[in-house]
Amino acid sequence: MKENSLISESIKTVMWSAIERFSVQVVQFVLTIILARLVAPSEYGLIAMLTIFIAVAQSFVDSGFSSALVQKKNRTETDFSTVFYFNIAISLILYIILYLSAPYIALYYREPSLELLCKWLGLSLIIQGFSVVQVAKLTISLDFKTQARASLTAVIISGLLGVYLAYSGYGVWALVAQSLLNNILNTSILCLLTKWIPKFIFSVSSLKSLFSFGSKLLLSGLLHTIYINLYSLVIGRKYSATDVGFFNQANLSARFPSVSLMAIISRAIYPIQCKIQDENELLLSSFKEYLRMSCYIIFPVMISMSVLAKPLILVILTDKWLPITDLFMFLCIGYMWIPLMVLNNQILHVKGRTDYFLKAEIIKKIVGLFILVVTMPFGLTVLCIGLLVYNFFDMIIIIYFSKKVINTGYFEQFKSISTILFLSIAMGVTIHLSLLLISNIYLQLFLGILIGLVFYISFSYWFKIKEFNFLLRKFKKLII
């Protein structure tokens, strides 16, 4: 009975999380495509060069406190107010550091325009610092509907402004304006809708309590943030702004489906898993269900994108982005394993073992840095193959640590998804063979998607894959 109740609650929260993230991501994706057609790859590259500095600073702003507030069972108003004031203070300090560092960042890349861009983009740190607690409170209460309203409104308005400015010839500043307005609107709407006002309370003991959990997440997040943005840092120094733009566009496009879908699933189920963190059998059962369902959705999407890389890029981004085809293809295969990484990472958070999480991140990033150094001299394609290899190591390492807290290791996890994996690969081969018979890129894209969809659904029905049957039942309920 409790497991059925848990599944029912999971479906409801995943649905609203999906509405919030999927609507925002789809609108953002469409706007990104439009902007990519209007803005040169080199201008995208300038923004990508600054990403590592903004992202690292943003990791400090959150400091893992958002997850700590969600994970803590007996949180108080003192906890919320303390985190709020701490975040504001940290964001102001970090912006000052970033502002003063802007000339040196521009000097490192040998791009003078980056100094002013950095000073303006850095303002997002202060803006986002005001909404960390609001997001945590809404997540705790499983209120993804409010987050949906805020995010969607912000992304539509800011996106329209960005498109208008790009069309008017403002280039890279269109991207800056879009980013800042999106953060301003999202934070403002969240503050208005949550109606939460911090109390004039700051507790050092509360800060220490939350920091004992959040600090390990902070260090882990920093390692991960630095690593994933290190490629833009290295490429920007060794190659041109255009190369940075190519890599960044390929990386963002390849990550988009798997990361977005897992963000929907993981943030919806995290507070639910936290509620049952002491019930090991129920937690393990739910973990396996979430893993299979995630892979069932994400594996075919990523393999299809990899196989259809060329027509996808030509139709959606136009031929000026054609050089990213091979990069995109390899990265799609690398990022298809995101479900295993995310859910195994999350189970460590749920069980409060952020020490294991930190150890895993340190090992993974040492491996990743070695791969980066080895592949760096051989060009962008080899760098992306290196990222693919790194993702396999990431998965292997995190499963090793998660097995220590939940009794399921390599064999059990891969056995549970093996049918889904083989079916997805077979679908990819079928799509590839069908493309050999078609020369028109529009027909390649349309028929490739159609053939893949028909193949995957037909064989899911034939092999009686329970995730397909589950989704089919839910779909029938929606249309009846």
Tell me the mean pLDDT in the region 211-217. Answer: 66
Encode pLDDT of 111-143 as tens digits.
888 889 889 988 988 888 888 888 888 877 767
Encode pLDDT of 326-364 as tens digits.
999 999 999 999 999 988 988 887 877 778 888 888 898
Encode pLDDT of 156-170 as tens digits.
898 888 888 888 888
- Between these two residues, 316 and 336, which has the higher pLDDT value? 336
- Mean pLDDT of the residues in the chain: 81
**pLDDT reported for residue 7:** 47
Nearest Cα to 8, choosing from 472, 470, 479, 480? 470
Nearest Cα to 72, choosing from 349, 360, 404? 349
- Between these two residues, 280 and 371, which has the higher pLDDT value? 371
Q: Do the beta carbons of residue 329 and residue 309 sit within 8 Å? A: yes
Query: Quick one: pLDDT band at residue 456, thresholds 50, 70, 90?
Result: very high
pTM of the model as a whole? 0.68
**pLDDT reported for residue 5:** 47
Q: Do the beta carbons of residue 205 and residue 4 sit within 8 Å? A: no
152-189 as b/e: b if 16+ CB within 10 A? bebbbebbebbbebbeeebbbbbbbbbbbbbbbbbbbb
Assess whether pLDDT exceeds 60 at residue 8.
no
Assess whether pLDDT exceeds 80 at residue 217.
no
- CA 244 to chain CA centroid, Å, is 20
Assess whether pLDDT exceeds 80 at residue 4.
no
Percent of the chain with pLDDT over 70: 85
474: burial class by Cβ within 10 Å (0-12, 13-18, 19+)? exposed
